[in-house]
Amino acid sequence: MRDRIFAPSRMLIYLVVWLIATAWLVPFVVVVLNSLRTAEEIAQTSMIGWPKQWAWSNYVTAWAEFCVAQTCAGIRPYMLNSAIVTIPATIISTMLGAVAGYAVSLWRFRGDQWIYGIVTLGIFLPQQMRLLPWTIVLRDVGLINTLTGLVVIHTIQGLSFTTLFCRNYYVAIPPELMRAARIDGAGFFRIFWRIVLPLSPPILIVTVIWQFTHIWNEFLYGVTFTTGQQQPVTAALIALSAAIADIPQHGVQSAAVMIAALPTLLIYVLGGRYFVRGLTAGAVK
Amino acid sequence: MTHTVAAETRTGRPVTFGILRRLPEHLAIWVPLLLSAGHLVSFALWTVWISFTPSTLVPVSGWVGLRNYTAVMATRNWQIAFDNLLLFGCGFVLLSLLTGLLLAVLLDQRIRGENVLRSIFLYPIALSFVVTGTVWSWLLNPGLGIQKLVNDIGWTSFRFDWLIDRDMAIWTIVIAAVWQSSGFAMALFLAGLRSVDADLIKAAQIDGAGPIRMYRRVILPTLWPITVTVVVIQLQFAITTFDLVRALTGGGPGLATQLPALVVYDLMFQRGLLARGAAAAVLMLLILLAVLLPYAGWRYLQRRQAAHA
């Protein structure tokens, strides 16, 4: 199986794999091209085509001008909402998960395995089982239809993943290291700060990427607990397609989709290795 | 590492003082864990409880037995959703499994540009299902997408209108879902292929096995634990699918792409039938458990075998 690229069987492999790869790229290329075509041009032909004139203005309209339900500020406020929810929820859930993962992996205390088992069940419990309780909790504390409410939800729910990731990473820390630190009189926080945290960057990057992607892309909670100007960008995209169903604006809509997908795509491109590691770490459970 | 936190106090000072001194660390340990575990248990139990009450717009106490469950299961909405789930679940899992396996085997042939190809097959995973659904709703729209393009080129009788065809609409969800998550199956399979024992392959080569026989008899059989994991994860996704359908078909045409998660949402937040919505959510959980419990049992047996070996 040496790389003789011109052997017939090798060429077949390259042909098949690149054909599938092209098919996989089509949706992305179509959206990029459409985001640069005018509505008239798309209406005359189809969604699939090369721009005759480059309509960069689609991005301006998508970012700051088009109207969703009476407000005409483009996708900008919703992108901001998503950022306001995603960034704090990612940071807080990762920090708490790191401490919790450290506690259950390196400190034994009564009931540690039990509570850790329950926490990981959160990976499997469908969101639908938590929708009504969250509604009531958010209403009772006055956080319904607020971004803070979404931060709280994503922080608490994210703990299942962040604790799992960190715990599985920290159990590999040699016990001798812990024992030596304790003999030196180091306590819970000092050991975390001095020994565990310096070893943590790889797992923290995986966790942050995982949390950011999931929270940014989340839709159900966004659409259930927020309305109008408070919605994250995923919910706004759906509202947008409903709002302009009468007068199709596929160029602008494609630009909006591109903008909304950009943060997670960037993270994927920049941190691909860690991204994949998170996927497989989540799968092994 | 078997000492407990409390037993750490060796100062001889009163125990209460020790606890106070250790308050920050107890808080750090217990607050996140209790928040997480506490909300999971109480929320799940609360939803189960509500499903047995006569609640409609607001939660009320009372006991109606299984009436909400029988009511939900008697609706056409749920029946269609359940049938669709079977179809979607099987079609999606099978197709993404085969695609993922094919891609992994192809990429395992030491081809040039493997990293680029892997990134191409995996990038959809970084997207939200709302984006995926929206984009595929354009491509599959007969008046806008692939059909329009082929018609414009000159093949005017070409039809690819599954999106508006009641019988075929569910397959549009399958297409988009396969596109989104085959890369994930590929990544896991590829990791599995790369960890196949080299001696095993060498032994088969000495026996004169060709590449196809090698895969069928030697390499693929070692992948089945990974296959089970992929199937379970994909099924878990299939059972809870919501965003993708909302963005791609909205559940239509008619009820043609209705799925359980959409029924739950509809009952809870559009019809204001909390108890029935909760019952539908519990039904969803039961379907999920029908997949996860056998898997957990299998994993347990596997681990025990590994421990004895």
- Judgement on whether residues B166 and B295 belong to the same structural domain of the protein: yes
Instruction: Tell me, yes or no, whether B61 lies in a domain.
Output: no
Instruction: Tell me, yes or no, whether B5 lies in a domain.
Output: no
Comparing B3 with B213, the larger pLDDT belongs to: B213
* Minimum-distance CB partner of A128 among B31, B120, B261: B261
- pLDDT score of B6: 44
- Whether the predicted pLDDT of B280 surpasses 70: yes
Contacts of B47 in chain A (CB under 8 A): 129-130, 132-133
As a whole number, mean pLDDT of residues B231-237 equals 94
Q: What share of chain B in percent tops pLDDT 70?
A: 94
CA dist B25 and A103 (Å) reads 9
- Judgement on whether residues B23 and B104 belong to the same structural domain of the protein: no
- pLDDT score of B8: 44
Contacts of A270 in chain B (CB under 8 A): none
Cβ contact, residue pair B109, A283, below 8 Å: no
Tokens of B163: 């999106």
Q: Does residue A262 belong to the interface with chain B, where contact is any CB pair within 8 Å? A: no
Cβ(A215)–Cβ(A90) below 8 Å: yes
Q: Tell me, what CATH number does B299's domain have? A: 1.10.3720.10
pLDDT tier, B24 (very low <50, low <70, confident <90, very high otherwise): confident
| Domain total of chain B | 2
Instruction: Tell me, yes or no, whether B116 lies in a domain.
Output: yes
Which of B78, B109, B131 is the best mutation test for A, with the most CBs of A within 10 A? B131
- Whether the predicted pLDDT of B30 surpasses 50: yes
- Judgement on whether residues B104 and B149 belong to the same structural domain of the protein: yes
- Judgement on whether residues B28 and B113 belong to the same structural domain of the protein: no
- Judgement on whether residues B88 and B44 belong to the same structural domain of the protein: no
- pLDDT score of A69: 67
- Judgement on whether residues B44 and B143 belong to the same structural domain of the protein: no
Q: Mind listing the pLDDT tens digit for each residue in B65-120?
A: 899 999 999 999 999 999 999 999 999 999 999 999 999 999 998 889 999 999 99
Give me the domain span that covers residue B21: 16-50
Chain B segment 202-241 residues within 8 A of A by beta carbon are 211, 229-230, 233, 236, 239-240
- pLDDT score of B3: 44
Three-state secondary structure call for residue A68? strand
- Judgement on whether residues B118 and B238 belong to the same structural domain of the protein: yes
CA dist B27 and B38 (Å) reads 15
Instruction: Tell me, yes or no, whether B6 lies in a domain.
Output: no
As a whole number, mean pLDDT of residues B263-269 equals 95
Q: Mind listing the pLDDT tens digit for each residue in B202-222?
A: 888 888 877 788 888 888 888
Cβ contact, residue pair A126, B46, below 8 Å: no
- pLDDT score of B4: 44
From first to last of the 285 residues of chain A, give the pLDDT tens digit.
444 556 788 889 999 999 999 999 999 999 999 999 988 888 888 888 888 888 899 999 899 888 776 778 889 999 999 999 999 999 999 999 999 999 999 888 888 889 999 999 999 999 999 999 999 999 999 999 999 999 999 999 999 999 999 999 999 888 888 888 888 888 889 999 989 999 999 999 999 999 999 999 999 999 999 998 899 999 999 988 877 666 778 899 999 999 999 999 999 999 888 888 887 776 654
- pLDDT score of B14: 54
- Judgement on whether residues B41 and B71 belong to the same structural domain of the protein: no
pLDDT tier, B281 (very low <50, low <70, confident <90, very high otherwise): very high
Instruction: Tell me, yes or no, whether B58 lies in a domain.
Output: no
As a whole number, mean pLDDT of residues B26-46 equals 94
Q: Does residue B277 belong to the interface with chain A, where contact is any CB pair within 8 Å? A: yes
Cβ(B230)–Cβ(B221) below 8 Å: no
- pLDDT score of B204: 83
- Judgement on whether residues B105 and B138 belong to the same structural domain of the protein: yes
H or E element that contains B18: helix B15-21
Domain annotation for chain A: domains and CATH numbers: 8-64 (no CATH), 76-284 (1.10.3720.10)
Cβ(B59)–Cβ(B248) below 8 Å: no
- pLDDT score of B82: 97
- pLDDT score of B9: 44
Place of tokens 């596997």: B302
- Judgement on whether residues B102 and B213 belong to the same structural domain of the protein: yes
Under DSSP, the state recorded for B249 is T
Alpha-carbon torsion angle A230, A232, A237, A243, nearest 10 = -10
- Judgement on whether residues B151 and B42 belong to the same structural domain of the protein: no
- Judgement on whether residues B167 and B23 belong to the same structural domain of the protein: no
pLDDT tier, B5 (very low <50, low <70, confident <90, very high otherwise): very low
Instruction: Tell me, yes or no, whether B245 lies in a domain.
Output: yes
Instruction: Tell me, yes or no, whether B3 lies in a domain.
Output: no
Beta bridge partners, A68, equal A71
Instruction: Tell me, yes or no, whether B9 lies in a domain.
Output: no
| Mean pLDDT over the full length of chain B | 89
The closest alpha carbon to B131, from A78, A190, A264, belongs to A264
